[in-house]
Amino acid sequence: MYGKLCIVFYFVLLTSYFSLLMSSCGYHMVGSRLLSFNSIHIKHVSNMTYEPRLEEKLHTALSEEFVTQGIKAGGVSSDVALEAVITRFELGAIGTIDASVREQEIIMFVDVRIIDNEDVIEFRSIGSPIKITFETTGTVLQAVDQRDRASNKASREIARDIVSRIIIHYAK
């Protein structure tokens, strides 16, 4: 009994010490409850690349990520508006076998503007924080399907990064 009590005491002590240490370094929890707005209007996403349907994928990913974070993705009457421009989309070869590309990565960058009454906040060249790759083996249809899934994933990762940056900006 005494041993279990000591373990619980040390666990509580260690947790308290860790919490105190983290808070003294300036770390704090950030969430959508700290935002000064409840809804955001995602304007039409512009696609300055030759890759078709990227604007639809990014718009959908942004809407879903805002909802996941507890922020309503509403219409024109929303508190804040978001404009996004896809500025770059490229495929980079990662793996080759016998002069045939077998694996590629998606390189995608987006510029974002947040319009909050008279304030304009800009984030430039937001890319996926992780490398998005896909295999180009199999039939042409399979390769196209894999590329489509990879561009969806890139859009979701960029949307997460955009929403995170907005939440952190408003939490300051």
Matching residue, tokens 């860790």:
18
pLDDT for 170? 83
pLDDT for 19? 57
Query: What token pair was written down for 88?
Result: 């770059």
pLDDT for 13? 53
pLDDT for 31? 46
Which mean pLDDT values do the consecutive 10-residue runs of the chain (172 residues) have? Answer: 58 57 48 69 94 96 93 83 96 78 89 91 94 83 89 96 91 76
pLDDT for 160? 96
Structural domains present in the chain: 36-171 (3.30.160.150)
CB neighbourhood size of 124 (10 A): 11
pLDDT for 114? 94
Give the three-state DSSP class for 162.
helix
98: left (phi over 0), alpha (psi -120 to 50) or beta: left
Cβ burial 10-21 (10 Å sphere, 16+ → b, else e): eeeeeeeeeeee
CB neighbourhood size of 108 (10 A): 24
Whether this prediction's pTM lies above 0.85 is answered by: no
Q: Are strands 119-127 and 100-116 parallel, antiparallel or unpaired?
A: antiparallel
Beta strands (DSSP E) in the chain are 39-42, 46-47, 72-74, 80-97, 100-116, 119-127, 132-135
What's the CA gap between 82 and 96, in Å, rounded? 40
